Structure 1
Amino acid sequence: MGQPDMPLHRSYKDAIRALNSLQSNYATIEAIRKSGNNRSANNIPEMVEWTRRIGYSPAEFNRLNIIHVTGTKGKGSTCAFVQSILKRYKNKDFVTASRNSSSSSLASSRSNETEKPHITKVGLYSSPHLKSVRERIRINGKPLAEDLFTKYFFEVWDRLESSESNPSTFPQLSPGLKPAYFKYLTLLSFHVFMSENVDSAIYEVGVGGEFDSTNIIEKPTVTGVSALGIDHTFMLGNTLTDIAWNKSGIFKEGVPAVSVPQPEEGMNELIRRAEERKVKFFKVVPDRDLSDIKLGLAGTFQKENANLAIELAAIHLQKLGFKVDVKDDLPDEFVEGLSSARWPGRCQIIEEPENQITWYLDGAHTKESIEASSQWFTEKQTKSDQTVLLFNQQTRDGDALIKQLHGVVYPKLKFNHVIFTTNITWSDGYSDDLVSLNTSKEEIDNMDVQKALAETWNNLDKASRKHIFHDIETSINFIRSLEGSVDVFVTGSLHLVGGFLVVLDRKDLPN
């Protein structure tokens, strides 16, 4: 897809159209996959060059005070917890060390200091988005407004248009070429946060770590690793050691590194890499009970992500000069942050009383995450008249995922209806922010994946009624036509969950 000419008056839709032109199409991705060369080693030098061309050096991003988080599952939830905690420290000159500490004594201890610790704006860069691409770039918990997204998007676009790379050093970066979708958004996030004077930023790694476009960050305040598992094997390798090597690529000399407990193979590699990278210290998060805190994100597995977030936030705040102690009782700000954290599409329950429907949403694209998600659903699901599964996984091994799901859910409960849909939003096409070019149009049009998944499920469970639908809107309309009370488990692809949320609230109607 060619990069479009830009109109004189640039709207948000123009920005999204231009951004979508930067997606790698399915044929390109398949060609790279078959060649066995994913060009990952070029990612960091190219990102540094793109950064130079929009007017920055990576060292300048150090003033954002970045927390850098990687992992296979749970890294997004961890970032959401950290964001929520840091928001409680906005515009505070000092904080209590624990629930029982005296704030007045801390205030007097800081009275002679000329520079007090402060946080005014908390930035979060994460992926993927659910309903709007603006969700990927947040300030103080809110997605970037459309007008600001448009403004900054075209500032980056124009800077790239008016600059060139040295052809002898970067022959692959021809004039007029733009970074691919995720790289462009990463560049945009840095430009937004620098322009908006963000002073604490959280960056979720896209894929891996070592070669991820976020890894031009030179001096984060702390790095974190959530649970490791086998995923993105084409890019990261087929073993936990390979994956841990890639993820730990975000470790930096002199910077603390923190991890949740990992399988021995992965943990050994993280420890080895921490020593190799000369991190300030490497710490495995303690298993705090947290039973007296109602976490804002549902699911028993969120306790591990919350514990990682506590350590990351504490180290970050201490680095900024706040007096924070989380060894015993957690400060009130931490408790409030953990309780009020929100991360849509992850273990989310939506009631639709007018249709007697309860929707249970959780994007889960690895065997480990689908197992945790399925356990959550079986624990939360009520005794309804009908139980429905709405599923898709277009780009990963959906066959393995639904087998895992079936193994957890059955025989505790059984689905009356099992629906396999594409990720297409509406009956007449995608929502603008959800256009996807990196999947096979032919496969989607023929619903090849959905037919294969239905066949697999039929071998597992012949009693449930199987349905294949072209789009999410049609799937929801069918579910709403069912009689009696209905519990619906929406899982698999986050793109499915995002499209589902768009259709459910009808805030983004088709053109």
Structure 2
Amino acid sequence: MSHLDKGSSIDPNSNNFTEFMIKRTYKDAINALNSLQSNFASVEALKKLGPSVNRNELSINEVYEYTKRLGYSPSDFNKLNIIHVTGTKGKGSTCAFTESILRQYQGSNKPIHKIGLYTSPHLKSVRERIRINGEPINKELFTKYFFEVWDKLSTTKSDSKIWPTLQPNETIKPMYFKYLTILSFHVFLKEGIDTAIYEVGVGGTYDSTNIIEKPIVTGISALGIDHTFMLGNTINSITENKTGIFKKNCPAYVSKQVEYPESEDIIKERGKELKVSSLEFVNDKLPENVELGLSGDFQKANAALAIRLACTQLTKFNVENLLTFDKEGNIINIPKEFIQGLKSVNWPGRCQITKDGKITWYIDGAHTIESISASSKWFKEEHSKNEKDKRLALLFNQQGRENYKELLTKLYNEVSLKFDDVIFTPNVTWESGDYNSELLSKNTSEDVVKRLEIQNDFSNIWSQLDNRSKRHVFSSIESSIKFLKEQDVEIDVFVCGSLHLVGGFQVVLDNDRD
């Protein structure tokens, strides 16, 4: 009996149960998926263990075992022609730029047939994580493939002596991210994808995506300090882990590490150790005629990395001699398809500006020290373009990072503007206290969320940073947005701190209840 079956009030031996198994809906799939989330208690238990190679090795070995039970071997995924990307800041944007460039070469009578993109987290819908030709897979396909994987794992077995953690086989499933990663491989193979772009979830070496044997190319964006309980708290340990996606005889491109230049020596050593075919550090210089579809000066580095990844990928499809360089090795000319791809990229929730009546929302899901710094500079620059004086407001949350106080302080120092109102809210979607089902998170303490502990802590921190601002703590994103709209004045609002906040914000702004 699966998690879903176990949670159902339907008798498994009845005719109704048989009918239910046939008619399972998208909502059933989401409910089943949410049952796979690690709860707050288990996350805290893992943190207390500290970085543990044994635990990490067990985790990725489970991915191999689960895919084996689905009938796949790692070599099966080579036919997807995978681009594998990690980093701390900008890996998602790099993947988006890469996909947008390659889509100019995709279609009938073009080199690439179908492009798959796997990223995380999602903003509004989990289907955003698994895209085909630029679009999230539809509900019907998601439901179909979700339950193909679910049912196969419910009816196959792992040796209990070798895999005691996977017992009982019928009920134990991969955790949330792991399940979606396995699902993405299944979807892309079934749908005939011939180019797939995979964004690493956390780290590199032990990430669920790192069962990829022979990627076409690997890429690393800007590195920084994040996910320390899994990756260690030094740039050395983090770099060591991220470079775990390097593969023998596979080229690797890495953004110049401006924040942590010392990491480049480790990257070079790891490149030799893992026997990559080539390793190149990419600067952020772009041809003058390039216009980026994503705001923020820092996106140049992500776009430059994407150009190299896309160019390498296209050589697999016999599209060559795409780039022209000057004597210093800077790119001075790229094809019109690349120019169009970089301009037309769409990646919501990252340096996004939305006009809504008298309010202009400046939205970015930055959640690390480095990305908060870049995002704050972007907001300050955009706000300075206003011809008239506007009220300023901040809408902020960060529920899951241990250094949340440091993040808020960094934002204050980098923006260096006086906010008239600062608003702190948990990621609860609606005033009723409910979440949209695809935004539900069990990874934070429900009690801490209800008591608004972190939000009140934020308010106290801000009072010490700048006691001129009016501070507000609301219990939901909807309440926060209502308050701002009720001001009925022209306001620039900076929405920042978490992609989960940004996702809930977009849902409320669109009134997209499920």
TM above 0.5, one fold?
yes
Out of 375, 378, 394, which is 1:376 matched to? 378
> How far 1:427 sits from its partner (Å)?
1.3
Q: Which residue of 2 aligns with 1:407?
A: 413
1:390 aligns with 2:395: yes
Q: Which residue of 2 aligns with 1:424?
A: 428
> What are the within-5 Å matches in structure 2 for residues 98-247 of structure 1?
118-174=111-167, 175=169, 176-247=171-242
Counterpart CA distance in 2 for 1:251 and 1:393 is 31
> What are the within-5 Å matches in structure 2 for residues 277-316 of structure 1?
277-316=274-313
1:491 aligns with 2:493: no
> How far 1:323 sits from its partner (Å)?
2.1
Counterpart CA distance in 2 for 1:158 and 1:418 is 48
Instruction: Say whether the 8 Å CA contact 1:152–1:192 is kept in structure 2.
Output: yes
Out of 26, 32, 39, which is 1:18 matched to? 32
Instruction: Say whether the 8 Å CA contact 2:92–2:119 is kept in structure 1.
Output: yes
> How far 1:241 sits from its partner (Å)?
1.1
Question: In the alignment, residue 410 of structure 2 is paired with which amino acid?
Answer: Q
Counterpart CA distance in 1 for 2:389 and 2:139 is 40
Superposed CA RMSD: 1.3
Q: Percent identity?
A: 54
> How far 1:35 sits from its partner (Å)?
2.8
> How far 1:37 sits from its partner (Å)?
5.9
More divergent stretch after superposition (32-41 vs 239-248): 32-41
Instruction: Give SS of 1:389's match.
Output: strand
Instruction: Say whether the 8 Å CA contact 1:90–1:121 is kept in structure 2.
Output: yes
Question: In the alignment, residue 367 of structure 2 is paired with which amino acid?
Answer: H
Counterpart CA distance in 2 for 1:36 and 1:237 is 8
Counterpart CA distance in 1 for 2:500 and 2:80 is 30
> How far 1:294 sits from its partner (Å)?
1.6
Instruction: Say whether the 8 Å CA contact 2:50–2:230 is kept in structure 1.
Output: no
More divergent stretch after superposition (467-476 vs 314-323): 314-323
1:346 aligns with 2:357: no
> How far 1:260 sits from its partner (Å)?
0.4
Counterpart CA distance in 1 for 2:46 and 2:322 is 49
**Which blocks of at least 5 consecutive residues in structure 2 are unaligned?**
9-19, 326-332
**Which blocks of at least 5 consecutive residues in structure 1 are unaligned?**
95-117
Q: Which residue of 2 aligns with 1:102?
A: none
Q: Which residue of 1 aligns with 2:80?
A: 64
Instruction: Say whether the 8 Å CA contact 2:47–2:230 is kept in structure 1.
Output: no
More divergent stretch after superposition (33-42 vs 270-279): 33-42
> What are the within-5 Å matches in structure 2 for residues 449-488 of structure 1?
449-488=454-493
Instruction: Give SS of 1:123's match.
Output: strand
Out of 419, 425, 437, which is 2:442 matched to? 437
**What TM-score do the two structures reach when normalised by structure 1?**
0.92
What is the aligned length? Answer: 481
Counterpart CA distance in 1 for 2:183 and 2:194 is 16
> What are the within-5 Å matches in structure 2 for residues 317-336 of structure 1?
317-328=314-325, 329-336=333-340
> How far 1:319 sits from its partner (Å)?
2.2
Counterpart CA distance in 2 for 1:134 and 1:93 is 28
Q: Which runs of 4+ in 1 moved over 6 A?
A: none
Out of 32, 49, 52, which is 2:65 matched to? 49
Instruction: Give SS of 2:164's match.
Output: coil
Q: Which residue of 2 aligns with 1:113?
A: none
